[in-house]
Amino acid sequence: MNTRKLSTHVLETSSGKAASNIKVTVYRLDEIQEWRAIRPSQTNSDGRCLLLDQGEFPMGIYKLTFHVGPYFAAKNMTTFYPAIDIIVDCNENQNYHIPLLLSPYGYTTYRGT
């Protein structure tokens, strides 16, 4: 049985707080090298989001689009990045956690646990 999961956590580094209510759209690269949207999700009050659960997460290349423009607009802040795309190769039989450390004019990501 497939027990793989894809998740994220968004932290706004300029405030040191979790970034809630950020829409995250997951795409998978298909066999003809086109991105196919799987579904949108949204970060919770702790900035966390389960994107794909067991049984719906086959091995492959995925793109996570973080729609951060509306998040900053709701805080009356401008941002250089209205959306952030992170492309990851998920070809091992394990869980993938992709955190995003966010500020209005920069971001960092890494492979978490």
Sequence ranges of the domains in the chain: 6-104
Q: Quick one: average pLDDT of 21-34?
A: 96
Q: How many percent of the chain have pLDDT more than 70?
A: 97
pLDDT digits (tens, 9 = 90+) for 57-98: 999 999 999 999 999 999 999 999 999 999 999 998 899 999
Check: CB of residue 109 under 8 Å from CB of residue 86: yes
Q: Which two tokens stand for residue 33?
A: 């090298």
Q: Rounded distance, CA 35 to CA 8, Å?
A: 20
Query: Domain 6-104: what homologous superfamily?
Result: Transthyretin/hydroxyisourate hydrolase domain (2.60.40.180)
Going from the C-alpha of 2 to that of each of 38, 40, 93, 100, 108, the distances in angstroms are: 18, 21, 8, 25, 29
The model's pTM is 0.93
With cut-offs at 50, 70 and 90, classify the pLDDT of residue 1. Answer: very low
